[in-house]
């Protein structure tokens, strides 16, 4: 696997897709449609999906590709594939809250090993390097030249004083009840796969998700978190979260810095 090419392509396509998303985000009111699963979709989702899909298929024609906006046509039986959520956090986008991301990942043997998470409205760009470690690129983001990159690393958590991040749009009582099992110093909320990145940078120690997610929602953030020393496990039995499942649906999950003493479900 040519990880140098993958890193360059993921980064460039995410930035280019971000430009297309922001043109619509900063423009006049846009139309919101509803997909068959009752989730919202906008022209920004579709434009970003088309651009990333075309770019990935041209660069890596031998790798199967899964994207959220073309999910109905996917039947990937391979353990290694590309997976994309062109606009994760569509509800945040629609409400102009800024917490939306472009997610592109490589899954190898059921494990997300490389990925990029780009939050264009916030100007934050996280990705894995060719060696698998994770960085945040700082300053102005240029497509052709890479700026200053800062390694990201999970925290060394204090289990008597944890920082927790939870979903902004999908918080519920079950999540609050589970968080209540921990000694929490403070909590923050975020949309989209930014929650994984906050754990990756040490801005949070723990992110429990007791709700529906799909593999394209989590793969890129999972890769970035893994490259920062973090882990993602199933909520029910704390086994590693794997990818390539039938239908691409995830079970409930927990993302965390390894020093966190996980509580049972």
Q: How far is CA 149 from CA 17, 21, 139, 157, 262, in A?
A: 20, 24, 9, 24, 31
3-class SS of residue 151: strand
Banded pLDDT at 16 (limits 50, 70, 90): very high
pLDDT tens-digit map of 217-239: 999 999 999 999 999 999 999 99
Q: Which CATH architecture has domain 162-256?
A: 3-Layer(aba) Sandwich (3.40)
**Residue 131 assigned to a binding site:** no
Q: What is the mean pLDDT of residues 49-75?
A: 87
pLDDT at residue 75, as a whole number: 61
**Residue 89 assigned to a binding site:** yes
Fold equal for 3-151 and 162-256: no
45: left (phi over 0), alpha (psi -120 to 50) or beta: alpha
Note whether 137 and 146 are within 8 A (CB): yes
Report field, pTM of the whole predicted structure over 0.85: yes
> How far is it, in rounded angstroms, from Cα 197 to Cα 135?
10
pLDDT at residue 19, as a whole number: 96
Q: How many helices (H) and strands (E) does the chain have?
A: 6, 14
Instruction: Work out the mean pLDDT of the chain and round it to a whole number.
Output: 91
Beta bridge partners of 66: 83
| Third-level CATH fold of 3-151 | Fructose-1,6-Bisphosphatase; Chain A, domain 1 (3.30.540)
**Residue 85 assigned to a binding site:** yes
Banded pLDDT at 172 (limits 50, 70, 90): confident
**Residue 238 assigned to a binding site:** no
> How far is it, in rounded angstroms, from Cα 165 to Cα 198?
8
Banded pLDDT at 123 (limits 50, 70, 90): very high
Q: What is the mean pLDDT of residues 105-126?
A: 97
**Residue 13 assigned to a binding site:** no
**Residue 210 assigned to a binding site:** no
Q: Where are the domains of the chain?
A: 3-151, 162-256
Give the whole-number percent of the chain exceeding pLDDT 90: 74
What are the phi and psi torsion angles at 153 (to 5°)?
-145, 140
**Residue 16 assigned to a binding site:** no
């Amino acid at each position: 696997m040519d990880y140098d090419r993958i890193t360059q392509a993921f980064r460039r396509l995410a930035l280019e897709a971000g430009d297309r998303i922001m043109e619509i985000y900063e423009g006049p009111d846009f139309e919101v449609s509803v997909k068959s699963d009752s989730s919202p979709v906008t022209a920004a989702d579709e434009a970003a999906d088309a651009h990333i899909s075309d770019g990935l298929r041209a660069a890596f024609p031998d790798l199967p590709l899964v994207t959220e906006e073309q999910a109905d046509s996917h039947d990937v039986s391979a353990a290694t594939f590309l997976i994309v959520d062109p606009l994760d956090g569509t509800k945040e986008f629609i409400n102009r809250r800024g917490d939306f991301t472009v997610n592109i990942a490589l899954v190898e043997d059921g494990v997300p090993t490389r990925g990029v998470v780009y939050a264009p409205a916030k100007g934050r760009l996280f990705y894995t390097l060719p060696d698998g470690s994770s960085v945040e690129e700082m300053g102005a983001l240029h497509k052709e030249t890479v700026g200053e990159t800062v390694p990201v690393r999970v925290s060394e958590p204090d289990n008597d004083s944890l920082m927790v991040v939870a979903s902004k749009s999908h918080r519920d009582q079950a999540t609050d009840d589970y968080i209540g099992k921990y000694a929490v110093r403070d909590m923050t909320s975020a949309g989209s796969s930014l929650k994984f990145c906050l754990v990756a940078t040490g801005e949070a120690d723990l992110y429990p998700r007791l709700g529906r997610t799909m593999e394209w929602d989590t793969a890129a953030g999972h890769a970035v978190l893994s490259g920062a020393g973090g882990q993602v496990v199933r909520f029910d039995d704390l086994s590693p979260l794997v990818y390539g499942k039938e239908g691409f649906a995830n079970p409930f999950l927990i993302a965390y810095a390894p020093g966190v003493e996980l509580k049972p479900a």
